[in-house]
Amino acid sequence: MNIILTGVTGTLGSQVLYELLKQPSCKRFFLLIRNKENLKSKERLMRILNHPKAPAFIQNNLPAILSKIEVFDSCTFALPKSYLNPTENNYFIHSAGCVNLSTAIAQRALLFEENLEHTKRLFKTFTPYLKKYTYISTAFSIGERGGLLDNNYHNKKPSYRNHYEASKYATERFLLSHEKTSGVKIQILRPSILGGNIYKTSQYFISNYMVYYLIGRFFYKNPLVQQNSIRLFANPKSALNVVPVDYVAQVIAKVYTKDIAQLNIVQAKSIDVLPGLKCIFEAVGFNKYCILNVTNQSYVLQAKNKLEELYYNTIGLHLTKYLMATPFEFDTTLLQSILPLPEYNLEEYITDTIDYAKRNNFKSAW
């Protein structure tokens, strides 16, 4: 079979590529990697394959692996008739996307262009050549919803917190609505918040530090923390659902050929917000904070100090809604039957992943 893969340079996409390269059934890989600044697409690929944290299998078999890979920039990728045979088993895994939690109206057009419209163009272009199209969405595409969440998000009404969630949900709906007319099987996979690797071969590695890492990075060596404390809004009944990125990649590598329409790739048990924040703050050596038990998301903090002003005008502007979220949990029965997540202490995991980020100065891997 052949694999068409986007998002290879992303946090998850690189791990998915690592996993798929181990599968003997995958004969050829067609990768969309955009040129970036002074780096050509093939140079960006080599940074991923040559990275010290790449699996030993790849490092030890690099010439053979490279012989199976073709890399395309945006223009050449959009011409599948030049490199795909419609009679072969071609699987498209679309892992690329724009992650931006902004609620600014100006950002809506950008997010819908990058997530929805770009997916539409890819799907319509590649439909004649595909057996299946797997879309990597997000477990938060349902928006602000409490209670027990199953894998079928499209039997519920979403309640978005930002344009990112809305654009991902709209993309899911587009794909599912075109399954019958296109003749291409559609699969929606939804990872939760991505954390560092859990398996020991490259434990705690992650290529880019996002979401809860942003809190650690904000307070780590921030000169304002010396003279200021901070008040944070949080719903103590809420939780952070953090799932190791290498586990997510292994699940994707197991299910992309299976007859599964929708699947949330998440933790069976989340870590409560308050212990989770405590782990992050302790890891970066910050203790001058207090948590305000506020569930009204329109509440305005008065008399902010310099640290609070900076926080609430930057990452706090986007993350606060998640810290104040209505309590929820996921039904992971199907997920656990596919690949059980290794057992480990969630609080220690949060601490260890932030410690790893500190050792690498929160610097992206490539």
Q: What is the mean pLDDT of the chain?
A: 96
Per-residue pLDDT at 295 exceeds 90: no
Residue 294 in this model has a pLDDT that exceeds 80: no
Could you tell me the sign of the dihedral formed by the alpha carbons of 276, 278, 282, 287, in that order? positive
Backbone phi and psi for residue 89, each to the nearest 5 degrees, phi listed first: -85, 100
CA atoms of 4 and 130, how far apart (whole Å): 9
pLDDT at 300: 79
Find the DSSP H helices in the chain: 11-21, 41-49, 56-60, 62-66, 74-77, 105-111, 118-126, 163-177, 179-182, 212-219, 245-255, 273-283, 306-313, 315-323, 333-338, 346-359
Give the amino acid at 45.
L
Give yes or no for residue 360 having a pLDDT over 80. yes
What's the mean pLDDT in 83-104?
Answer: 96
List Cα–Cα distances, 146 to 95, 199, 235, 258, 268, in angstroms: 27, 31, 13, 29, 15
Segment 212-225 mean pLDDT: 97
Alpha carbon distances (Å) from 89 to 19, 27, 119, 130, 184: 19, 10, 20, 7, 11
What is the average pLDDT across 109-138?
98
pLDDT at 297: 66
Rounded average pLDDT over 345-356: 98
Q: Which amino acid is at 15?
A: Q
pLDDT tens-digit map of 320-349: 999 999 999 999 999 999 999 999 999 999
Residue ranges covered by each domain of the chain? 2-194+242-265, 203-240+271-328+346-359
Is 298's pLDDT higher than 80?
Answer: no
Cα separation, 242 vs 166, in Å, equals 21
Phi, psi dihedrals of residue 2, rounded to the nearest 5°: -115, 145
Section 314-321 average pLDDT: 93
Q: What is the DSSP letter of 115?
A: I
Q: Is the pLDDT of residue 277 over 90?
A: yes
pLDDT tens track for 167-214: 999 999 999 999 999 999 999 999 999 999 999 999 999 999 999 999
Percent residues over pLDDT 90 in the chain = 93
CATH number of 2-194+242-265: 3.40.50.720
Choice between 36 and 130, residue whose per-residue pLDDT is larger = 130
Closest CA to 176 of 166, 187, 160: 187
